[in-house]
Structure 1
């Protein structure tokens, strides 16, 4: 099995606790509202939102994928850390066993936050990703994060 790993950091003007709450705790409700073309719905199919919870993500018309199952691996609301894995669905493209993400939101400059994300792609066989494919994946994550930041700036009482 091959493993592809990349790290990224994204800065936001939103305070860390609020960003974490929107990104993780309320994300299931927010993403379909602010990006319906990407996320049609996010539904818990097993669990209570904590570790072990399984969610079904149905993607919108702008996505190349139809669905993914997402498992919460770890959640610490005090330390603002969240780990999850995509464990099933066409988003794994029949080439990945799973895709795992470790997220930590920290204090950033001027009261904002920095989201640190480590992504691990567990390939079924030995595959190689090009720099362009990794860049494309990072840009998609950045787009979702910036849409969330924009939503919070436009709706200061949300979350």
Structure 2
């Protein structure tokens, strides 16, 4: 087994409070509504949204790699806009990875004109099942999967300027 990590930063054209509320706090309700072709349901299995909360996301046939992903909130700091989610079942667990954690930090970025934007700094910490680290292509695939959901939420927030204020 090999332990590793990689990082990414993405800019979203919504302020940090709205991004945090939609991307983190209410994503389990919002994602099935805005991506019904990809997500059939997302539910809280255990907990109240804080540390220890377990979410299960079931995917439609459009996702061929896996049918579901279950993740647990292992770190949460709403004041600093930081969340750590450990994938505990589904996803790439058992196929390529033994474990993986998404560490996300949301930071406000103010532009000279208009409303602020949000930079999301993502670090993925992982442990493989074999003796090979994730390839650059595998890393990009994981980041892209996360960004698909975030870009859909960003589009929703831009189209609904009073949502999640």
Normalised by the length of structure 2, the TM-score is: 0.89
- Partners of 2:148 and 2:70 lie apart in 1 by 21
User: Between Structure 1 and Structure 2, which shows a larger proportion of helix residues?
Assistant: 1
- Structure 1 vs Structure 2 CA RMSD: 1.5
Deviation at 1:130, TM superposition (A): 2.2
Structure 1 residues 20 and 90: alpha-carbon distance in aligned structure 2, compared to 1, 3 A threshold? closer
Deviation at 1:93, TM superposition (A): 4.2
What is the Cα deviation at residue 140 of structure 1? 2.4
Gaps spanning 5+ residues in structure 2: where? none
After TM superposition, the runs of 4+ consecutive aligned structure 1 residues lying more than 4 A away are none
Shift of 1:117: 0.5
Query: What is the rounded CA distance, in whole Å, between the counterparts of 1:132 and 1:108 in structure 2?
Result: 29
Q: CA deviation at 1:90?
A: 4.8
- Checking the alignment, whether the CA contact within 8 Å between 1:39 and 1:58 is kept in structure 2 is yes
Aligned-partner Cα distance in 2 for 1:103–1:53: 16
Deviation readout 1:13-61 (Å, 9 max, x if unpaired):
1001110110000100111111122221111111111111111111122
> Structure 1, residues 108-136: CA drift from partner, whole Å, max 9, x if none?
13211100000112213312322222222
Question: Which residue is equivalent to 2:145?
Answer: 140
The size of the alignment, in residue pairs, is: 159
Q: Which 5+ residue runs of structure 1 have no aligned equivalent? A: none
| Structure 1 length-normalised TM | 0.92
